[in-house]
Structure formats: structure tokens, C-alpha cells
Amino acid sequence: MTINRKLPDTSLEPSGEFAESIRSFRSAIHHMGDHAAAQDATSAWLAPARKRQKSAHRRMVLAWAAALGLLFGGALPLTLHLSHETPTHRNEVAKDQLKDNSSDTALLEQVDSAVSESVPDSLAPLAELDNWSSESKTENRQ
């Protein structure tokens, strides 16, 4: 909370030795300023200021150009990446998947045919053993 107090104007005017110190301070500053101003301000006096102003303007333009360059430089790879997700590309991916499915089916059919083939002669004793085992289980159940 701010309390507004009316400051007496007399409190804003120094007096005594303090006032003398401030007067000396003022004199010193004025003396310094007068010394600097004694140098003639010719038409060329403002030339360094004009040069600084132009440099500052050039720096600002370069900074904006760099910022825009970074912005577009970053946006371009992103745009290229997004172009891979077009409908044409998606159709091609679907076709590839279809091809894989058909090859899997062919493989399964191959396995089925291999399994349903007749037992070779070298493995015949094992097949007989398997048949005897299944017959004895059937008799036990009866």
C-alpha cells in the first residue's frame, strides 16, 4: 500500500555545506561540458553517428535474414519427411504386405504336403511301433 505524503518543497532544496558541495559538483560538470562543446560541431560532427546508425540497421537486417534462414532450413527436412507418407506410398506398402502373405500361404501348403507324405522305408519300424501302441490303448478301454 502506498501512502502519498505531500513533501514540503523546502525539503527538496539543500542548504548549508551540503548545498555548497552540490554547487561545486555542478560547476565541475558544467566546466567539463563547456570544454567539450568548445570543439566546433562542423557538418562532419554527425558523420560517426550516421555510420553507427547504418551499421545498426545492417545488423538488424542480417539478424532477421539469419533467423528466416534457420526457420526455413529446419522446415524443409520436415516437409521432405512428411512427403514419404503420401497415398501412393501407402498403396505400395500394402502391395508388399500382400506379397508376403501369399508367400506365407505357399509355405504352409508345402509343410502340409510334406507332413501327409507316406513314411519312408527306413522309418517303417517306428511307424509299426506307433500302430501297436495305439491298438493296445484301444483294447484297454474296452
Partner 1 sequence: MAQTESVLELADFDEVVRLYRPRIFRYLMASLADRDIAESLTQDCFLKAYNARHQFRGESSLSTWLTRIALNLVRDHLRSRRMRFWQKTRDTAVDVVDISDWIPDGASGPEAICLQQEKVREVWQAVEKLSRQQKNVFLLRFVEEMELSEIAESTGMNTSTVKSHLYRALRIVREHVGDAPKGEL
Write out the residues near partner 1 by the rule CB under 8 A. Answer: 4, 7, 11-18, 20-22, 24-37, 41, 45-46, 48-50, 52-53
Least Cβ distance, residue 93 to partner 1 (angstroms): 52
Which DSSP string corresponds to 28-82? HHHHHHHHHHTS---GGGGHHHHHHHHHHHHHHHHHHHHHHHHHHHHHHHHHHHH
What type of residue is 57? H
CA 68 to centroid of chain Cα atoms:
16
Residue 52 vs 95, nearer CB to partner 1? 52
Residue 22 vs 126, nearer CB to partner 1? 22
Residue 32 vs 126, nearer CB to partner 1? 32
Tell me phi and psi for residue 73, to 5 degrees. Answer: -65, -35
103-108 long-range contacts (CB < 8 A, ≥24 apart) are none
Least Cβ distance, residue 62 to partner 1 (angstroms): 17
Residue 49 vs 78, nearer CB to partner 1? 49
Least Cβ distance, residue 69 to partner 1 (angstroms): 23
Least Cβ distance, residue 35 to partner 1 (angstroms): 8
Residue 4 vs 140, nearer CB to partner 1? 4
Least Cβ distance, residue 4 to partner 1 (angstroms): 7
Q: Give the residue among 136, 139, 119, 135 at the shortest CA–CA distance from 127.
A: 119
